[in-house]
């Protein structure tokens, strides 16, 4: 696809106004306080994988409302501790996948917690965590409009809470240094990493590759690609609910979390990305409060930098961890 909406020089100056709900901070403070009424813990079961250089544990931790969330903990075999840790989140439609798919961070010397994604994991990577959701009204197929008429019932309230609690959980592990935790992800995973950065004040770093869920309303106006199109299609049917929908989405828009985040951040953006348009990524980047840098891939779509971006991520992690 051709370059979207703005050229690079315009994108580098793009800082749209943001309007957050008046009770945004209270909403999230209350949500996390409720979740943290259940003490953080990380239950682990060793898994034999046949891999000689890493150890793998099947883990469970309490997420939103104390509900059990699955994950993998992958660590370099024989490493002394406590280790710095990377908590990673998964792209839309995927789950935690298979343990041997997650070897990069442990190979670089870090403990790596891969969080499963509640209610997803049927699109491209297997998942093992159900979404114990309240009755939440009509929805378009997918996750984007699940409970979207009520901020308290909205799917991403639960998922963002899980993501925060993953950090809480990994910090309880005796083999991990709680002061050296980085969050990372691509697409939906990048959006989750940015949300956590805005909700957890003492992270060591953030890696957000082509992040989803940034400047959401604008995204629905400039791309026909899914998952944002789920929102547009829902609004096409529920013509009288448009403002209600976007009032809910404002509570999970990455711009508002970016404006609160202080940990050093490495973003990436692809200028031919129809799924997470570059205009929305730069909007988030320019509102990001902490130290930041961004890698730009001019001729790539939603794959972003792919394997070519890995050296930049490893160099960034080595610097902040």
Catalytic residue among 187, 215, 256, 268: 187
Does 3 score more than 70 pLDDT?
A: no
Q: Is 92 annotated as a binding residue?
A: yes
Chain segment 223-250, per-residue pLDDT in tens: 999 999 999 999 999 999 999 999 999 9
**Residues forming beta bridges with residue 76, ordered by sequence position:** 54
Domains of the chain are: 8-130+156-214+255-320 (3.40.50.1820)
Does 220 score more than 80 pLDDT?
A: yes
Catalytic residue among 215, 273, 286, 309: 273
Does 2 score more than 60 pLDDT?
A: no
Catalytic annotation present for 187: yes
Q: How confident is the model at residue 138 (pLDDT cuts 50, 70, 90)?
A: confident
Catalytic annotation present for 302: yes
**For the CA atoms of 156, 161, 167, 169, what is the dihedral angle to 10 degrees?**
-130
Catalytic annotation present for 186: no
Catalytic residue among 102, 140, 215, 302: 302
1-10, Cβ contacts within 8 angstroms, sequence gap of 24 or more: 1/272, 1/274, 1/301, 2/272, 3/271, 3/272, 4/222, 4/223, 4/271, 4/272, 4/273, 4/274, 4/277, 4/278, 4/279, 5/222, 5/277, 5/278, 5/279, 6/278, 6/279, 8/271, 8/296, 8/298
């Amino acid at each position: 696809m051709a370059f979207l909406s703005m050229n690079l020089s315009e994108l580098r100056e793009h800082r749209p106004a943001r309007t957050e709900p008046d009770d945004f901070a209270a909403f999230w403070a209350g949500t996390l306080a409720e979740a943290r009424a259940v003490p953080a813990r990380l239950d682990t079961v060793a898994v034999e994988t046949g891999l000689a250089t890493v150890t793998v544990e099947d883990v469970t931790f309490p997420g939103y409302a104390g509900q059990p969330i699955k994950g993998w903990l992958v660590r370099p075999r024989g490493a002394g501790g406590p280790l710095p840790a990377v908590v990673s989140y998964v792209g839309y439609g995927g789950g935690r996948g298979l343990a041997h798919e997650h070897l990069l961070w442990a190979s670089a010397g870090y403990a790596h917690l891969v969080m499963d994604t509640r209610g997803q994991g049927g699109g491209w990577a297997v998942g093992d965590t159900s979404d114990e959701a309240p009755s939440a009204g009509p929805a378009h197929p997918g996750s984007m409009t699940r409970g979207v008429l009520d901020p308290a019932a909205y799917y991403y309230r639960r998922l963002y809470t899980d993501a925060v609690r993953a950090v809480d959980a990994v910090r309880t592990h005796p083999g991990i240094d709680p002061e050296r935790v980085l969050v990372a992800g691509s697409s939906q995973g990048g959006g989750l990493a940015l949300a956590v950065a805005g909700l957890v004040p003492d992270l060591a770093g953030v890696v957000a590759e082509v992040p989803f869920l940034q400047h959401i309303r604008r995204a629905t106006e400039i791309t026909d690609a899914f998952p944002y199109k789920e929102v547009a299609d829902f609004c096409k049917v529920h013509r009288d609910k448009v403002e209600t929908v976007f009032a809910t989405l404002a509570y999970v828009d990455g711009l508002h979390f970016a404006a609160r985040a202080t940990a050093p951040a490495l973003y990436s953006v692809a200028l031919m990305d129809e799924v997470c348009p570059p205009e929305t990524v730069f909007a988030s980047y320019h509102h990001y409060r902490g130290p930041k840098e961004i890698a730009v891939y001019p001729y790539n779509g939603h794959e972003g930098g792919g394997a070519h971006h890995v050296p930049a991520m490893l160099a960034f992690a080595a610097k902040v961890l």
